[in-house]
């Protein structure tokens, strides 16, 4: 699963490695114990509303959103709350986590009634239901979806992101092929909720079956169009996707709604449909399981809160993984243990062997400018990395370190093999931490 190199100023054309694209989703039965961190989204952690010993049902609220940028957390099983304690989070932090013992009975909580047509609901009611369901961006960003349904400016275009430019991952591709009804319903709901004139389903050209399917459906339904994206990484990133589809450039620090656009991942749109049609909160998510250590790569639908170990047991391992990655090989994060749980933003689990790892062998910067040429948001990666390594975070902030989308292309292309992305990510975190402290003060 080594990635070959080719680059341009608009990102890089790298090996897709989409070997699982023809594998249909498999449902995974939940384990005996599930772990629900109260931080599964961007923004403030949710606040537990249950206590040790409480009986819970499928879809029941476990933790309530705390503030305008936060998200509810629900149980994906029925059973009993065993404990509430700090547990190792996929992000490498210790997060308050609600541990639920699965009773195997799958008893459902009382859910809101569904509607056959989303236009039966007011835009405000759609926003409220999405908020109550705890839906977040499922492409990896985990931004609360309800916030995007309350844009600060007039929105005329909704982009449904089916790019899935990250190598190896194919769960978005399978969502488009297997959850057609949900995507059609969800796109109609978003158009109605935002009063948008245009809905665009953006799909990379390496998914010709999905492009053909939805172009035919667009002729029948008429309320969306299909845009074929170049198969180039990272075209799925908002700051690249929005200008490509609409021709509107995003200013530094601005979100897509500042240019009249809202972007939602295809899995998020399907989850919105599940909420409005069936009343289901976000308690399961599609993901891809792959890597050289995996016996049987798969696309799966996994209950939120399932430990990675349970997922890997279902597919089998050929050998002990040298590294576990949550997400894809470019933007995924290495996790410390197979005991960490699947959360709402988990798009993939990669169990990688030693042969698949890249060990940095740093040499002096050649001043070649390749990292600058390939940066999709026009930053100066070597300078940002140097400032971050020296702790000069204020200077890095002035040069736009927080604009980095952490795509990994600068490190990928660097002939001196410098860990540019890692250093920039560190600087970005420090700048954002300082900003949060300042706001709190």
| Residues in contact with 162: Cβ distance below 8 Å, sequence separation at least 6, in sequence order | 172, 173, 176, 201, 202, 203, 204, 207, 210, 266
Alpha-carbon separation of residue 73 from 90, 104, 176, 246, 347 (angstroms): 16, 20, 25, 34, 18
Alpha-carbon separation of residue 402 from 139, 377, 388, 428, 432 (angstroms): 20, 11, 12, 5, 7
Distance of CA 306 to the CA centre of its chain: 17
pLDDT at 7 over 60: no
| pLDDT at 208 (0 to 100) | 97
Average pLDDT over residues 302-308: 98
pLDDT at 286 over 80: yes
Q: Is residue 341 within 8 Å of residue 306, measured between CB atoms?
A: yes
What would the pLDDT profile of 264-282 be if each residue is shown by its tens digit? 999 999 999 999 999 999 9
Judge residue 422's burial from the number of C-beta atoms within 10 Å of its C-beta, 0-12 exposed, 13-18 middle, 19 or more buried: middle
Domains and CATH numbers, the chain: 11-16+113-278 (3.40.50.11540), 361-440 (no CATH)
What six digits make up the tokens of 69?
Answer: 């940028």
Does an H or E element contain 427, and which?
helix 420-440
In angstroms, rounded to a whole number, what is the distance separating the alpha carbons of residues 80 and 101?
5
Closest by CA position to 177, among listed 222, 209, 223: 209
Average pLDDT over residues 208-220: 98
Residue 122's φ and ψ, nearest 5 degrees, are -75, 155
| Residues in contact with 29: Cβ distance below 8 Å, sequence separation at least 6, in sequence order | none
- Looking up tokens 């909704």 gives 158
What would the pLDDT profile of 120-137 be if each residue is shown by its tens digit? 999 999 999 999 999 999
Note the pTM of the prediction, 2 decimals.
Answer: 0.93
Closest by CA position to 325, among listed 307, 337, 316, 315: 337
The alpha carbon torsion through 177, 182, 184, 185 (nearest 10 deg) reads 180
What would the pLDDT profile of 72-96 be if each residue is shown by its tens digit? 999 999 999 999 999 988 888 889 9
Average pLDDT over residues 29-39: 97
Please report, rounded to a whole number, the percentage of residues in the chain having pLDDT higher than 90. 84
The alpha carbon torsion through 338, 173, 165, 348 (nearest 10 deg) reads 0
Does an H or E element contain 382, and which?
helix 381-389
What six digits make up the tokens of 26?
Answer: 């498999």
What would the pLDDT profile of 338-373 be if each residue is shown by its tens digit? 999 999 999 999 999 999 887 878 898 989 999 998
């Amino acid at each position: 699963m080594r990635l070959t190199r080719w680059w341009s100023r608009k990102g890089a054309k790298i090996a897709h490695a989409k070997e699982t694209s023809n594998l249909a989703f498999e449902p995974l039965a939940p384990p005996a114990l599930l772990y629900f961190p109260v931080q599964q989204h961007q923004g403030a952690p949710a606040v537990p509303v249950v206590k040790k010993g409480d009986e819970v049902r499928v879809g029941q609220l476990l933790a309530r959103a705390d503030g305008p940028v936060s998200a509810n957390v629900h149980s994906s099983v029925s059973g009993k709350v065993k404990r509430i304690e700090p547990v190792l989070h996929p992000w490498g932090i210790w997060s308050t986590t609600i541990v639920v013992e699965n009773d195997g009975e799958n008893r459902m909580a009382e859910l809101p009634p569904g509607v056959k047509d989303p236009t039966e609901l007011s835009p405000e009611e759609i926003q409220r239901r999405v908020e109550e369901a705890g839906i977040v961006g499922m492409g990896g960003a985990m931004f609360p979806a309800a916030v995007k349904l309350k844009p600060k400016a007039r929105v005329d275009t909704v982009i449904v992101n089916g790019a899935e430019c990250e190598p190896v991952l194919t769960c978005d591709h399978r969502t488009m092929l297997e959850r057609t009804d949900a995507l059609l319903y969800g796109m109609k709901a978003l158009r109605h909720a935002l009063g948008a004139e245009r809905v665009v389903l953006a799909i990379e050209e390496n998914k010709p079956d999905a492009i053909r399917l939805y172009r035919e459906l667009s002729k029948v339904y008429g309320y969306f169009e299909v845009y074929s994206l170049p198969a180039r990484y990272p075209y799925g990133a908002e700051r690249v996707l929005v200008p490509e589809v609409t021709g509107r450039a995003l200013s530094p620090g601005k979100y897509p709604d500042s240019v009249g656009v809202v972007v939602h991942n295809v899995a998020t749109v399907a989850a919105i449909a599940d909420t409005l049609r069936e009343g289901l909160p976000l308690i399961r998510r599609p993901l891809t399981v792959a890597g050289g250590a995996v016996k049987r790569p798969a696309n799966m639908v996994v209950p939120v809160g399932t430990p990675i170990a349970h997922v890997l047991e279902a597919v089998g391992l050929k050998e002990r993984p040298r590294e576990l990655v949550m997400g894809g090989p470019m933007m995924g994060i290495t996790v410390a243990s197979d005991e960490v749980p699947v959360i709402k933003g988990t798009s993939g689990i990669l169990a990688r062997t030693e042969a698949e790892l890249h060990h940095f062998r740093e040499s002096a910067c050649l001043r070649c400018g390749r990292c600058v040429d390939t940066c999709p948001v026009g930053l100066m990666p070597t300078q940002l990395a140097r400032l971050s390594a020296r702790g000069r975070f204020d200077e890095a902030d002035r040069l736009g370190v927080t604009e980095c989308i952490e795509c990994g292309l600068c490190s990928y292309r660097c002939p001196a093999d410098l860990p540019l992305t890692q250093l920039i990510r560190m600087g970005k975190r420090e700048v954002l931490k300082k900003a949060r402290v300042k706001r709190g003060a």
